[in-house]
Structure 1
Amino acid sequence: MRLSDFDFHLPREAIAQRPVTPRDAARVLHLPAQGAPQDLGVRDLPRLLRPGDVAVFNDTRVIPARLRGKRGTASVEVTLHKRETAERWRAFARPARKLQHGNRIDFAEDFSAEVVERGEGGDVLLQFDRGGAALMEALDRHGELPLPPYIQRAGGADTLDLETYQTVYARIAGAVAAPTAGLHFTPELLQALDERGVQRVNATLHVGAGTFLPVKDEDVSQHRMHAEWGSLSAEAAAKIEAAKTAGGRVVAIGTTALRLLESAADDSGHIGAFEGETDIFILPGYRFKLVDLLMTNFHLPKSTLFMLVCAFAGQERMRAAYEHAVNEGYRFFSFGDASLLERHA
């Protein structure tokens, strides 16, 4: 498969810069397993799902992972993307070419990190002067929310973004990008799912900044995903397994939830507890083991996420669905509208 196979025309004005208010007022494009797409709203989700279905939500919480500091007199910006230990994080640095092993970056008078390793593509490993809760507190004081590059803010993320770029059920701190399908949910919508008889289960996948990196190889099979840490409890896995056995469908709320579920499932479709890293890269031809429906936002041309939805719902069907979405004025990307995809046989 070639990278050009996943290109499509997207007008710049289709890229949402702010979410709709309230969250669940967004539109949803329902793509059933058979038949034409349906233009609906996120509030229609409970009637599109069935009693006995199980919806899996990613409860990761976005941290203020972008830091601006000084190496001597030179300005440095880093965006954390993966926790290695309590004190060590991998980060993308700008400019990275002048950073050397042993360099200290000062983010405040009492907050700094040392470069302990340089990688490729601006990647560095930083050793902070503190870890754990103390590091999270320092990030809250000195860090910025790392909005995706296609959301334009003159001064970076603002106070409104601190609320809107976080799901209402975010719980476990560690992500540097939001699981954006979850941004559409309100307490009222979650309650409506409960009343419909749809079970809700939480999993955790800490989304990394690697999710924004472009695919550079024309042969997409050569692309390597950044590993992300995730976990699924034994209790959550048992609920999913029981729902599936009883005839319910597994609904992934977002591509991050789907990637974690497919990483945790075995080849026969059974699922158990999971904790660790996953770098699963899903392309057309992938055999899905567990997930039946996927709720997800609209993704970038040539992105790994567009490749994933093509694998899930069929490449030609997704190209047609995205063309329909553009023509009908759907809003794209993190703050945009959603789609509900049924797995294509």
Structure 2
Amino acid sequence: MYLKNYAQETPYIGNKFKVEKSVFLNELTQSFLSSPVSHSATGHNANFNIKHVLKSSIGEWIERKSLGIDLHKEQPIVAFNMLNGEPAIVEHKQIYFYDNDDFIDSCGVASHLNSISAIKSGFMEFFERQSLIFRWITKRPGILIDITDCKNEKINKLITNLYNFIDEVYLIDISVHPSIKTIIVLGSGRYYKGIGLQASENPENAIVGALEEMYQTFGNSWNKNYINEYETFKPHGNLDFYLEYYHSLTPDKFIDEYSFLISNTPSLSISIYLDQASKNFDFNNLVNLVSNDIGIQPICAYIPCFYEGFRTKIIKILSPNSYPHMFPVLFTQEETEINFGRENIEFPNAYKQIPFP
């Protein structure tokens, strides 16, 4: 179905709100929002829970719209050092997408209806991307999670539904610090490929989040049981280049690119992995511990929402000594050779694009 609004004033600037729900119970529901005044201001999500899909796609649309409009160009960006709480300086070009000679993306950006949740989500998003980039550039293996003896009902249900689209599923912990579990899920089959990424202090939340994110890569797709009987809905034509590169790879080529995470990788039973949950979690202590151990200085910057009538809180986490974005092709040598406190590091994938949408 299509939901459209016709009011002319802010914030009603979307030209399409599309919701797709199949008649089949084991098909995904997805929603897509777009804006006629900013092609980058889109929101998309795919999952089996329509309420979650709608909330996530609207939230993503608000984030991207706000990142494309700098309403306070003459004012300093409100930011603080997460280690000591002191004010920090962040340039507008480090945040906003418009009129920018320096390449940036939405890495480390998060939004929520309250500031604390936004900051926590933003830091975890920042950390998961740092972990992925480090593993990619260095081609260092993580820990392969053996799912054959999984007794967690929620995880089993998510994995079972994934097999409607793909034939092989791999769960790997790629974290650059043991206190934050960072799971990447890779999948492939005859028709599709998929990827999901999530960081959390709780191993179950990291796995569930990564599995749920993978479902977004199957948006616009029939499951493999029906693909030969129904025409596949084609992806939206205005793809960004991250998504274009991801779509350009066949499932076999995609898995081959990430083979260093799958082959010759130490494994751990998922039951043992799930038992590693921290019982005394304090976010501030975690940020300090991780930051000091891997040598980062996280800064939290506040991004004003493009419409003051929304209660959305938007933040971006960045650090002067971390990867600035998800596009290693444009990294400087200093950025490429970040080692997070490790020694004897090599960089075989230096300046090579990551297959991540």
Q: Is TM (by shorter chain) over 0.5?
A: no
Higher strand share: 1
TM-score grouping bracket, smaller chain normalisation: under 0.3
| TM-score of the aligned structures, taking structure 1 as reference length | 0.25
| TM-score of the aligned structures, taking structure 2 as reference length | 0.24
